[in-house]
């Protein structure tokens, strides 16, 4: 049985005081039954304050990006060890906004995954097709290439620890959610691909989140699908009440 995982991607929102308040509100009200994992991923500047605000709660900390090198002269970049020492357990890698606006490729994401694993961070690896790609009927080949590229040379035991977030680009921040059937179809495809690339055991272990306009009113239906193991939430994670409603769903 895969443990559910709901993560909030705060993107480029929240100052330090705002982030502290939001994190404290989530930590105070988060269900303590341990049935699923709850992760918040604030901007880098808020990691330390949020780590403090969620201390002693069930909520875990994640970052939104990192560099693949261990350290060095890379102005403006953040290393895996820095995230780890700030209290992060998770790191989102290859988000479509990173791919779209900052030129991230599967090869770069693959290097980041390897570095994150070396540093003891759990990557949340994002994949997903654009609207044009979906209309052209190439969703599976696009997502398949992303999974193959991101997972290149990652061994089976390490692959098992990865979380994949399927985020159709056309559903991100648009208010248009994939139907639960559309999402399940791609999640099932990804799981079948993992079985082909690795084994049935890896496929059944890897958790696959859905992301893209997941809200309190559509979360339960999406999360009821057999291959949807959680959510990666953008807009609705910026409000403690709506984020926790999704966690409860
Ligand atoms: P929204 O929930 O705002 O659509 O964002 C989804 C997302 O990109 C999470 O990483």
Summarize pLDDT for 148-201 with one digit per residue, the tens. Answer: 999 999 999 999 999 999 999 999 999 899 999 999 999 999 999 999 999 999
47: left (phi over 0), alpha (psi -120 to 50) or beta: alpha
185 is known as an active-site residue: no
Asked if residue 35 has pLDDT above 90, the reply is: no
Among the listed residues 111, 124, 108, the one whose alpha carbon sits nearest the alpha carbon of residue 61: 124
Best CA proximity match to 176, nearest among 146, 144, 211, 208? 211
Q: pTM to 2 decimals?
A: 0.98
For the chain, the average pLDDT equals 97
Q: Residue range 92-106: average pLDDT?
A: 98
Q: What is the pLDDT of residue 32?
A: 87
Contact call for residues 39 and 60 (beta carbons, < 8 A): yes
Q: Is 188 a catalytic residue?
A: no
Nearest ligand 1 atom, CA 171: 4
State the angle between helix axes of 106-119 and 139-150 in degrees (0 to 180), rounded to the nearest 10: 40
Pocket mutation for ligand 1, best pick of 13, 40, 92, 212 (most atoms within 8 Å of C-beta): 212
Q: At what angle do helices 16-29 and 240-248 cross, to 10 degrees?
A: 30
For the ranges 23-27, 29-33, 117-121, which has the lowest average pLDDT?
A: 29-33
Neighbours of 102 (CB within 10 A): 10
Q: What 8-state DSSP symbol labels residue 90?
A: E
Q: What distances in angstroms separate CA 28 from CA 49, 66, 100, 114, 240, one per listed residue?
A: 15, 29, 35, 34, 10
Q: Which atom of ligand 1 is found nearest the CA of 212?
A: 4
Ligand 1 atom at minimal distance to the Cα of residue 97:
8
Strands (E), 64-216: 90-93, 122-127, 163-166, 207-211
Mean pLDDT of 223-235: 98
Q: Which two structure tokens, joined as six digits, stand for 58?
A: 């069930």
**CATH 3.10.20.90 correct for 4-20+37-248:** no
For residue 33, the model assigns a pLDDT of 82
Q: What is the pLDDT of residue 34?
A: 76
Distance between Cα 72 and ligand 1 center (Å): 31
Probe residue for ligand 1, chosen from 231, 232, 245 as the CB with the greatest number of ligand atoms within 8 Å: 232
């Amino acid at each position: 049985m895969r443990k559910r995982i709901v993560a909030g991607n705060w993107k480029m929102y929240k100052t330090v005081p705002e982030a502290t308040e939001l994190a404290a509100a989530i930590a105070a009200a988060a269900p303590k039954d341990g049935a699923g994992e709850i992760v918040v991923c604030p901007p880098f500047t808020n990691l330390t304050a949020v780590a403090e605000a969620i201390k002693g709660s069930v909520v875990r900390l994640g970052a939104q990006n990192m560099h693949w090198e261990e350290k060095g002269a890379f102005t403006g970049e953040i290393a895996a060890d820095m995230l780890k020492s700030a209290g992060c357990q998770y790191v989102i890698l290859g988000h479509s906004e990173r791919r779209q606006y900052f030129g991230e490729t599967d090869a770069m994401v693959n290097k980041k995954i390897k570095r994150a694993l070396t540093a003891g961070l759990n990557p949340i690896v994002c994949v997903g097709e654009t609207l044009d790609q979906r209309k052209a009927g190439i969703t599976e080949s696009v997502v398949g290439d992303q999974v193959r590229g991101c997972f290149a040379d990652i061994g089976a035991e390490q692959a098992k620890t990865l979380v994949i977030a399927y985020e159709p680009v056309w559903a991100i921040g648009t208010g248009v959610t994939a139907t639960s059937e559309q999402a399940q179809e791609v999640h099932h495809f990804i799981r079948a691909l993992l079985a082909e690339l690795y084994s049935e055991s890896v496929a059944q272990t890897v958790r696959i989140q859905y992301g893209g306009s997941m809200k309190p009113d559509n979360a339960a239906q999406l999360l009821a699908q057999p291959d949807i193991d959680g959510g990666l939430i953008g807009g609705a994670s910026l409000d403690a009440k709506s984020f926790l409603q999704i966690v409860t769903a």
